Amino acid sequence: MTPTLPTSAPIVIVGGGIIGMSTIYHLAHRGVPAVLLERRKIASGTTWHAAGIVGQLRDSAAQTELGKYTARLFRDLEEETGHSTGYKQNGTINIALGDVRHEQLLRTHDHAGRLGIPSEILSPQQVQEFWPSLVINDVQSGLYVPSNGQVNPLDVTVALSKGARQRGAQIFEDTPVEHLDIRDGKVVAVHTAQGAIATDKVVLAGGMWSHLFGKQHGITVPLHAAEHFYIVTEPVEGLSPEQPILNIVEERNYWKEDAGKLLIGGFEAHGKAWGQGGIAEDFEFDQLPFDMAHVEEDLTRMFARMPALEDMGIQTFFNGPESFTPDGRPYLGPVPEVQGVYLATGMNSNGILNSGGVGLTMAEWLLDGMPSRSMGPLLASRAQPFQANTYYNQARAAESVGFHYGISWAGRQVNSARGVRRVPLHHELVRAGAVMAERIGWEVPMYFDAKQPHWSDKPSLRWKPWSESVQQECLAARDAAVLLDQSMYAKIVVQGPDAVHVLNRVCGAQMDVPTGSSVYTQFLNERGGIEADVTVIRMDDNTFMVVTGHPSQQRDLFWIKSQAPKGLRFEVFDATSAYSLLTLQGPKSRDILQSLSSDDLSNDAFPFAAARQIDVAHARGWAIRRSFLGELGYELLLPSEFTASVHDALFEQGQPLGLRHMGMFAMNACRLEKGFRHFGHDIGEDDTPYESGLGFAVALDKADDFVGKTHVLEQHRKYGSNTPYRLVSIRLLGVTAQEGPYLIHNEPVFKGEDIVGHVTSGDWGFRLQTMVGLATLHVADGVSKAWIDEGGFEVQIAGQRYPIQAQLQPFYDPKGTLMRG
Ligand SMILES: Cc1cc2nc3c(=O)[nH]c(=O)nc-3n(C[C@H](O)[C@H](O)[C@H](O)COP(=O)(O)OP(=O)(O)OC[C@H]3O[C@@H](n4cnc5c(N)ncnc54)[C@H](O)[C@@H]3O)c2cc1C
């Protein structure tokens, strides 16, 4: 007898791959028996054919914890359900061929040590002891992580379904979800040919089907299927099941033992999108034709690396589809468009190793309202409306396949779907020598070099091909003036009689400020963690403009809407396209702007943090006395159509005074010298303002209650500013810009023999001519000035320790006199 669908369910999951199954399993463990609907058989989409490699190390401690959790789950599931998962801990070895990769492996070894994942640096000979037939003459080193391993993805999915069912979850195969019922912006039911299920929470875990399914409901799910290839040899005599998995990033391939055979997969630099015309109705445990011509180069590299492959014989040439997203990261959590709909999709060939952590986190989101740790880079709400465009996703997915491998460094570029979003000054900037990078569709000027306006794709972790240009831009900011085009930054208008109360609820700072003021503030979550780092301008009694980073355009809009108290009278809308944002900075900035304005720009009339509507050339716009560089300066918020004429006028007046364009690389170097935090790098959802050194931006005494207040108040009462985790400025003396080594990210910080923190971001500071960075330090009793002043700090970079100076104030203009002058 076919079981009948329930008429209602607390939560319905669409899709029975490993992600949907892990979600229902974790919900069941939390005592919530949800319903999962699978269009065909469980695991019949992408999951069944995955290679099943499981690594644990991630960029952050929080995400690494999820990686470790997944490995534990695979081990314990077997005992819980009696169903084997095929889990084995055979370890992974990453090898380095070139110098840059070698340095990266040494850095990863440091990072793994800090996060408690044992690892070992191997010599080429030691690599060969594990992989005897490998050609090692060009191998520099290997990084061995013994606790990584592999599983059988189909078995894991079955074990998860068993574990979920044992706790009351209901799983229905051959039950495609046809559509969602949405009323007043909220999901109310899920429809299938077998009937409807009333529910107010739906998880889209439909893998490569999710993009079109979402689009059908006005939900942006940026992903597309692309082909992924591997080959499997005939059985190899003597191949141990304990053979560690091998990764060769520079050659874009991975190698693993698979039931006595060797499985070798590749991630080409430019893959092939698949399913452009939609996915066949009867797609189930299917594979795709193997495109020999497409992967010939990759196969040639594999055979050159192990000539013995010739004798082993290839038994299987496999090709299967998987979903890839524009930035190579999954989409998780609530969507802004429809209340009650959550995404858990877009796994970019990491769905098996992410499955446990994703299921655990989705259950937290669905039941607790928020995940227990930062999921910032993976949020569904980071999707931009234009990313619902299917052609865009097709074009990018083919390249996203390649994000997996190849060298990751500051100059890594994408080549597909370029020029999609352009700032109003795009052509002027190109004429000035702008070298652009792509950021969520925007063409963003990274640096200016009129003589050679082209990227170099030769990776470097030290002096870069563009460093000389960046240096000139930084020195111009210090000695004359620079103009940055930050028009891609998001501008969100909050308007209405209760707008001030809405913002006072959402922001940590006092927002009831005089018209014509700007406020630097953070949006906080219930744990007091930072959800957004923004500047807000009060334009009149009832109108505020929130200026935030371009990646947060939808996210912050959604946050304001979802956190605003019910019943207040306000509107919130996206005005990003309506305004450009030109930032004029440097000691000559006032003279330049004053020469184009009849308004009084003197410090008395227009002090730091003021926001005024002023004349600029023949236009009018908002000028805000703020700086992300630490210089005297103005941000000009102009109606878009006036941008070009203001730009031209600024340069006509400014060039004789040394005005030049500045790109984002220089901006980053300057803000590091000035100790300004970058959201997503230095501060995020797990950091409170006090831990971030931003306690000055919290108004504990304001009348309106704000989200996160309970937590930050308690923390402040207990520790004052001396919280157990605290962000500080650091500098590394005695190294040169040319040779480095560079502070980049995640380098462990020691005091004596104890690891007391890590670097959150770093770079060469051109105005100070020294290596600068920010680091978060930790000591249980609280990080006090006295403890910092004791000194004795060292940073570990690629296995070597270097002394550093740490202090609470920035190294550039510690008292802020330039900016306020
Ligand atoms: C060749 C290859 C090798 C790989 N190797 C690895 C690896 O080593 N390690 C790793 O971590 N990852 C690997 N992956 C990636 C991994 O397989 C995927 O990331 C993972 O399986 C994705 O799981 P999912 O649940 O999101 O998608 P899927 O497994 O595709 O599941 C989605 C399910 O949703 C169902 N569905 C869709 N629409 C509907 C609807 N409307 N109603 C009901 N059901 C619906 C589909 O039928 C499907 O079963 C590999 C992938 C490939 C192709």
pTM: 0.97
Six-digit token string for 410? 């500051």
Distance CA 351, CA 543 (A): 44
CB 65 within 8 A of CB 220: no
Residue 203 C-alpha to ligand 1 middle, in angstroms?
A: 15
DSSP characters over 34-94: -EEE-SSSTTTTTGGG---EE----SSHHHHHHHHHHHHHHHHHHHHHS-----B---EEE
Choose which residue among 325, 352, 355 to substitute to test ligand 1 binding: the one with the highest number of ligand atoms within 8 A of its C-beta.
Answer: 352
CB of residue 761 inside a 6 A radius of ligand 1: no
CB of residue 221 inside a 6 A radius of ligand 1: no
Alpha-carbon Rg for the chain in angstroms: 27
Distance CA 529, CA 524 (A): 5
CB of residue 46 inside a 6 A radius of ligand 1: yes
| DSSP H stretches of helix in 685-736 | 709-719
- CA neighbor of 523 nearest in space, from 682, 366, 683: 683
Distance CA 236, CA 264 (A): 13
DSSP E strands, 463-588: 481-485, 490-495, 518-524, 530-540, 543-548, 571-574, 579-585
- Nearest residue by C-alpha to atom 45 in ligand 1: 15
* Nearest atom within ligand 1 for CA of residue 19: 25
Compute CA 556 distance to the chain's CA centroid, rounded to the nearest angstrom.
Answer: 15
pLDDT value for 457: 84
Q: Which residues contact 64 (CB under 8 A, 6 or more apart)?
A: 56, 57, 58, 115, 117
**Average pLDDT of each block of 10 consecutive residues along the chain (821 residues)?**
86 98 98 98 96 93 93 95 96 98 98 97 98 97 97 97 98 98 98 98 98 98 97 96 97 96 96 93 95 96 97 96 97 98 97 97 98 96 98 97 93 95 98 97 97 89 97 98 98 98 98 98 98 98 98 98 96 98 98 98 98 98 97 98 98 98 98 98 97 98 96 97 97 96 98 97 98 98 97 98 98 97 91
Single-letter code of the amino acid located at 750: F
Six-digit token string for 701? 């005494």
Compute CA 231 distance to the chain's CA centroid, rounded to the nearest angstrom.
Answer: 32
- Nearest residue by C-alpha to atom 21 in ligand 1: 47
CB 662 within 8 A of CB 652: no
Distance CA 619, CA 640 (A): 11
Bridging pattern class, strands 314-324 and 53-54: unpaired
- CA neighbor of 356 nearest in space, from 38, 40, 63: 63
Choose which residue among 56, 173, 209, 348 to substitute to test ligand 1 binding: the one with the highest number of ligand atoms within 8 A of its C-beta.
Answer: 209
Per-residue burial over 426-456, b = 16 or more CB atoms within 10 Å of its CB, e = otherwise: bebbeebbbbbbbbbbbbbbbbbbeeebebe
CB of residue 157 inside a 6 A radius of ligand 1: no
- Nearest residue by C-alpha to atom 14 in ligand 1: 349
Q: Which residues contact 699 (CB under 8 A, 6 or more apart)?
A: 508, 509, 510
Give burial (CB, 10 Å; 0-12/13-18/19+) of 215: middle
Distance CA 353, CA 70 (A): 7
CB of residue 47 inside a 6 A radius of ligand 1: yes
* Nearest atom within ligand 1 for CA of residue 192: 42
CB of residue 264 inside a 6 A radius of ligand 1: no
- CA neighbor of 801 nearest in space, from 738, 716, 734, 714: 734
Residue 348 C-alpha to ligand 1 middle, in angstroms?
A: 9
Give burial (CB, 10 Å; 0-12/13-18/19+) of 786: exposed
Give burial (CB, 10 Å; 0-12/13-18/19+) of 11: buried
CB 426 within 8 A of CB 273: no
Residue 789 C-alpha to ligand 1 middle, in angstroms?
A: 52
